[in-house]
Structure 1
Amino acid sequence: MALKTPKTVGSVDGHRVQFIPTHRQDNDTNVVTSLVMAIPVSIEDVTAALMFLTWGASAADVVAELGRPDDAVRGTVMETMFCIGGDELSSQRMRLDEIEPGSWDATRLEMVRARVSELFGPAAVLADSVPSPRAAGER
């Protein structure tokens, strides 16, 4: 029997997007309810989600991923945040502080920040002015 993976609908800054809720992929158990919540996220949260998604990717793959239509990228951000959860997202955000200047990861980070700025606001400016959890001494 072929399993159907239903998509769910979310909203990002008023843009309706669809994504696959990871726990439902090829899951044949009956759905009995839906959860609805608004989750506050920062520019750095969005950046960390896209960096997680593109970790280990080639330049061509990063360009292709970030070059998808706006709502597809928004959906990917929602799906990634749902998939990895808040704890892993926090770890990924701290991992941004460990990127070596001049490395491929630093180049990729600038590519991601540019796309995040287009979709969610001025990521590069915010990243320079807002202390990260590590810089603020939080763990």
Structure 2
Amino acid sequence: MTEIMIKPHHFMDIIKLYGSGVEVFVPDEGMGHDFYKVANEIIKNHQIQLQLTIEADDICHPCRMYQNQMCIDKVYKPNYEYKHDYNQMLDKRLIEKLNLCIESNYSADELCRLMLEHHDCIFQVWHEEDDIIIQKRHDLFVLGAQKFSE
């Protein structure tokens, strides 16, 4: 892979899981998505170029829940029925809070450092979540980003 198309929240999820101690990602055979493939590539190649999107990314395309150009997986959040809409909202918030440009490429290292610099935005982006869950997301992301940036 020379470039990865990725949603900003997927990148944060990868770094958060890395912070939780996941060193090697494994396939989710039930869903069939490429989270593991993209995550492993990012973890091993900090200079890989990332093209940001709010639409389906390289993780989503092979997923069983990706149909008719949207994620049909259900989400149980007020005002949202499908992950497609909820995730787009998260990604739009991240793009706005972090001043990201979806027309630009970022190296994984560059995006990680930028997100680490503004890690407190996690509390505003995921504000629909329970405070304990947001705090855990924040803390694991920071741990993962510091580890990734070493």
- The answer, yes or no, to whether TM exceeds 0.5 is no
TM-score with structure 2 length normalisation?
0.23
TM-score with structure 1 length normalisation?
0.24
Larger RCO (CA within 8 A; separation ≥ 6): 2
More helix by share: 1
